[in-house]
Amino acid sequence: MTHPDVLVLGGGIIGLAAARELALRGLRVEVVERLPAGAEASLAAAGMLSPFSETISPGPFLDACRASRDLWGPWVATLEEETGLTVDYDTSGSLLVALNEEDEAELDRALRSARELGEQADEMEIPALRHWVPDITPEARRAVHLTGEHRVDNVQLCAVLALAAQKLGVTIHYDSEVERVERRHPEGTVLVHGRHWRKEARLLVLAAGAWSGLIPELPPLPVRPVRGQVLLLGGVEWPWRGSLRQGHFYAVRRGATGLLIGATVEEAGFDKHNTVEGIEDLLAFTRRLFPGIGRTRLETVWAGLRPGTPDDLPLLGGIPGWPVLAATGHFRNGILLAPWTAREVARLAFAEGEEIPELSPRRFLSGS
Amino acid sequence: MTHPDVLVLGGGIIGLAAARELALRGLRVEVVERLPAGAEASLAAAGMLSPFSETISPGPFLDACRASRDLWGPWVATLEEETGLTVDYDTSGSLLVALNEEDEAELDRALRSARELGEQADEMEIPALRHWVPDITPEARRAVHLTGEHRVDNVQLCAVLALAAQKLGVTIHYDSEVERVERRHPEGTVLVHGRHWRKEARLLVLAAGAWSGLIPELPPLPVRPVRGQVLLLGGVEWPWRGSLRQGHFYAVRRGATGLLIGATVEEAGFDKHNTVEGIEDLLAFTRRLFPGIGRTRLETVWAGLRPGTPDDLPLLGGIPGWPVLAATGHFRNGILLAPWTAREVARLAFAEGEEIPELSPRRFLSGS
């Protein structure tokens, strides 16, 4: 049996992006994914690429978000070229809509901090808003257009990314749950055991999302599932192709006439169901922003589990004592951070400089 | 190519029940179904067997509903015996719950008319209601238990019924849309054309639900689709195994912990989507009756198209000038009326007596 240089645990956007990047650098890479096909949160996400939407304060994490946002355009172009496929990646930006005083204060904060960062942020007059989003509520008081918040069809992207990785020689093993991992001495390798298989590698990349803390024998990373419920509307004919935000929810275009409404943020363990109150909240948001949309098709509902961490920041770096790089805990920013994370994983795998202390798993594993 | 005695158009509960009944009577029967598997409204229904819930007035239709309700128990037992499978058929009854004065008036009407018919209907004290349905709202003022309203898992039933029919020699052709039908003279038979097939039969049974008016060449029956949206909750642990009704909506147990919430009644053509307002209405009903149920799982939503008619009554009987028996237009009562309709189809196929004038298609086709 041949063994790869690197084994990636997790076939979501982070694992696939890292696998492709490492293969580009000349390593033999294999990916193992628990599911029979696809991935978890990477497919459940709405695909907003918002580097400053989630009340992120200045620091290395914000820098990473903005850097990754800037990588997205070239990354998509490269993936399209590598595969001959296309990805619905849109740079229209997002519209922050204010319906009340609280929203207006939030909108002013967003405007100010975007401008401080040198990001483009412009007031949009209500008639223009109504042109772009004909269903917008008459209650809309103000709107701000954030040019630098993009969006991607993450389902398409993951399929294209998997193909791109495979074209570079990456093997993806679906339906392959990891049962435990083992350090091998004196080789310094890691042996990964599945039900009917085992694989040895010089390096393991742990990109198992909300499941990253559950790999037996590895020091348990403090990653927990944070549920997000989403619903998809269909038949929405607007000129606007980007996204909208108000309060804690957003509306993101998907495909030709789709509109994703998301997302709840819930502590519900590994329960991936929708709930009565989750869908109620999403529908209430929908009606607040688009009151006349009652007869619009509700295509489907779903939920996903984001990998949350105690400080809401990713876990990116080595696990002490193990030949393992963690690339997980991206919480609400996994899609956004994928291209940047892939580069970071490659940089750390080739020992090109230090970890970013604020993101290093060592901040939680200091005792080990 | 061999041809059957009877060709049934439509593999829903009505078509399958009729096919089985005719096969029991010794005829060679085949069924053609447009879909690759399964059926339309028969699978979308909630499975309430309510002979007097839908403001039905005395007459042959009410008689049919009650007769069919009485046939259900023996029919299920026979189907289970024929197939060795089991069907979740429940005779707990239904609870009419009053939350306001209007509901109370409706409840009194239901109580009175049930008793006039000799059906059992008993007031249920609120503590008993709370025992059976722990999530019931404190707003519940009164409840009536209608013993004679049963329920069935119609998805299970359709699968078992298809198998029972097949065991009696009925062939079911899925993925077989009918393109047109043709009378053959002087044979007096009917020739049915599909895309890559045609079949001749002495008798055609038209049981195509909401699609029954669209068979080219046949006199168009006045059947139209009436959309019903449904949602399924999961993890509901109540002693109560029957159904509940309040206003125009109902809640029906499904499986071990499921609770179906239905149903809207909408004119939307053949659009089988859910809508924002449809799901809003079902969730609002859910919260009215069960206010503490917010964290309950919302498993899925769907919609189906009932076959409506101008007078809300079925179309059961011959189509003048054609060797065709219509068995369609059952609107909200297709599941309930299946065993009775099957017997009626057999009775009419063997010319045992007259059609029921109130249900005969002739009431709409007198000009032809």
Provide the pLDDT for residue A368: 46
Q: Of A275, A285, A288, which to mutate for an interface test with B (greatest number of B Cβ within 10 Å)?
A: A275
pLDDT score at A51:
87
Could you tell me the pLDDT band of residue A360, with boundaries at 50, 70 and 90? very high
Choose, out of B229, B270, B276, B299, the residue to mutate when testing the contact with A (most A CBs < 10 Å): B276
Phi-psi region of A284 (alpha: psi -120 to 50; beta: other; left: phi over 0): alpha
Q: B285 to chain A, minimum CA–CA distance in Å?
A: 11
Residue A367 has pLDDT above 60, yes or no: no
Which residues on adjacent β-strands are paired with residue B317? B326
Q: Which DSSP symbol is given to B331?
A: G
Q: How far is CA B167 from CA A354, B19, B79, in A?
A: 72, 12, 11
B1 pLDDT above the threshold of 60: no
The C-alpha atoms of residue A334 and residue A345 are separated, in whole angstroms, by 14
CA distance B265 to chain A (A): 13
State the pLDDT at residue A248: 87
- Residues whose CB is less than 8 angstroms from the CB of residue A272 and which lie 6 or more positions away in sequence, other chains included: A227, A303, A304, A305
Please give the pLDDT value at position B53.
Answer: 64
From B285, which residue of chain A is nearest by alpha-carbon distance? A276
Whether residue B295 and residue A279 make contact (CB cut-off 8 A), yes or no, is no
Structure tokens at A346: 């490659």
> Within an 8 Å CB–CB cutoff, is residue B184 touching chain A?
no
**Best of B288, B289, B298, B300 to disrupt the A interface by mutation (most A CBs within 10 Å)?**
B298
Nearest Cα to A315, choosing from A240, A178, A205?
A205
Q: Let me know if A85 is exposed, middle or buried by CB neighbors in 10 A (0-12, 13-18, 19+).
A: middle
Say what the pLDDT of residue B55 is. 63
Can you say whether residue A140 is alpha, beta or left, with left for phi > 0 and alpha for psi between -120 and 50 degrees? Answer: beta
Residue from the list A275, A293, A297 with its beta carbon closest to the beta carbon of B297: A275
Q: How far apart are CA B115 and CA B146, in angstroms?
A: 10
pLDDT at A321: 93
The Cα A174–Cα B60 span in angstroms is 60
Contact list in A for residue B291 (CB cut-off 8 A) is none
Residues of B in contact with A286 (CB under 8 A): 276
Q: What is the mean pLDDT of chain B?
A: 95
Residue B368 binned pLDDT confidence (cut-offs 50, 70, 90): very low
CB–CB of A276 and B294 under 8 A?
A: yes
Count of C-beta atoms within a 10 Å radius of residue A296: 21
C-alpha distances in Å from residue B130, one per residue of B61, B136, B146, B279: 35, 6, 17, 26
Using the Cβ of B182 and the Cβ atoms of chain A, whether some distance falls under 8 Å is answered with no
CB B44 within 8 A of CB B70: no
Mean pLDDT is lowest, of A16-20, A146-150, B36-40, for B36-40
Gyration radius (Cα) of chain A, Å: 21
Residue with tokens 């509306």: A251
Tokens of B28: 């060679």
B317-348: buried (b, 16+ CB within 10 Å) or exposed (e) per residue? bbbeebbbbbbbbbbbbbbbbbbbbbbbbbeb
A293 and chain B in contact, CB less than 8 A: yes
Q: Is B300 on the interface with A (CB under 8 A)?
A: yes
**Cα separation of B289 and B140, whole Å?**
8
Please name each of the domains of chain A with its CATH number: 6-82+154-223+310-365 (3.50.50.60), 94-147+224-307 (3.30.9.10)
* CB proximity A117 to B under 8 Å: no
Closest A-chain CA to B290: A276
Provide, rounded to the nearest whole percent, the portion of chain A with pLDDT above 70: 98
Q: How confident is the model at residue B346 (pLDDT cuts 50, 70, 90)?
A: very high
Picking from A298, A299, A300, A301 by the largest number of B CB atoms within 10 A of its own CB, the best residue to mutate is A298
Chain A contacts in chain B segment 261-280 (CB below 8 A): 271, 273-280
Contact B276 A298 (CB under 8 A): yes
Q: Which two tokens stand for residue A286?
A: 């929908």
Tokens 């008689």, located at residue: B63
Helices (H) and strands (E) counted in chain B, each on its own, are: 9, 21
pLDDT in tens, A61-73: 999 999 999 999 9
pLDDT in tens, B250-289: 999 999 999 999 999 999 999 999 999 999 999 999 999 9
Task: For A301, name the nearest residue in chain B, comparing CA atoms only.
Answer: B300
B89-90: strand order across its sheet: B48-49, B150-152, B89-90
| Residues B167 and B82: beta-carbon distance below 8 Å | yes
Banded pLDDT at A53 (limits 50, 70, 90): low
Interface check for A78 against chain B (CB to CB < 8 A): the answer is: no
Average the pLDDT over A154-181 and give the result: 96
Q: Which residues pair with B249 in a beta bridge?
A: B246
ipTM for this prediction: 0.84
* Cβ pairs A/B, distance under 8 A: 67
Q: What pLDDT sits at residue A1?
A: 56
Burial bucket for residue A173 (CB in 10 Å: 0-12, 13-18, 19+): middle
Identify the pLDDT of residue B3.
87
Q: Do A276 and B286 touch (CB under 8 A)?
A: yes
Residue A28, judged by CB atoms within 10 A of its CB (0-12, 13-18, 19+), counts as: middle
Contacts of A299 in chain B (CB under 8 A): 273-274
Pick the residue from chain B with its C-alpha nearest to A268.
B295
| Contact by Cβ (8 Å): B359, B317 | yes
Bridge partners for A150 per DSSP: A49
Distance CA B215, CA B9 (A): 10
What pLDDT is stored for residue A54 in this prediction? 54
Q: Pick B275's closest partner by Cβ from A280, A296, A301.
A: A296
Which residue type is seen at B130? R
Q: B31: closest CA among B5, B53, B59? A: B5
pLDDT value at residue A225: 98
Which among A230, A270, A274, A281 is the top mutation candidate for probing chain B, defined by the most B β-carbons within 10 Å of its own β-carbon? A274
Cβ distance A296 to B278 less than 8 Å, yes or no, reads no
Given A274, A277, A297, which is nearest B274 (Cβ)? A297
Residue-wise pLDDT for A277-294, tens only, equals 999 999 999 999 999 999
Closest-CA residue of chain A to B273? A297
Spatial contact of A222 and A212, defined as CB atoms under 8 Å apart? no
Q: Please write the tens of the pLDDT for every residue from A116-144.
A: 989 999 999 999 999 999 999 999 999 99
Q: How far apart are CA B362 and CA A148, in angstroms?
A: 67
The answer to whether the beta carbons of residues A204 and A326 sit under 8 Å apart is no
Question: Are the beta carbons of B273 and A299 separated by less than 8 Å?
Answer: yes
Residue A311 has pLDDT above 60, yes or no: yes
B283 to chain A, any CB pair closer than 8 A? The answer is yes
CA distances from residue B95 to A285, B100, B246, B263 in whole angstroms, order as listed: 34, 15, 9, 16
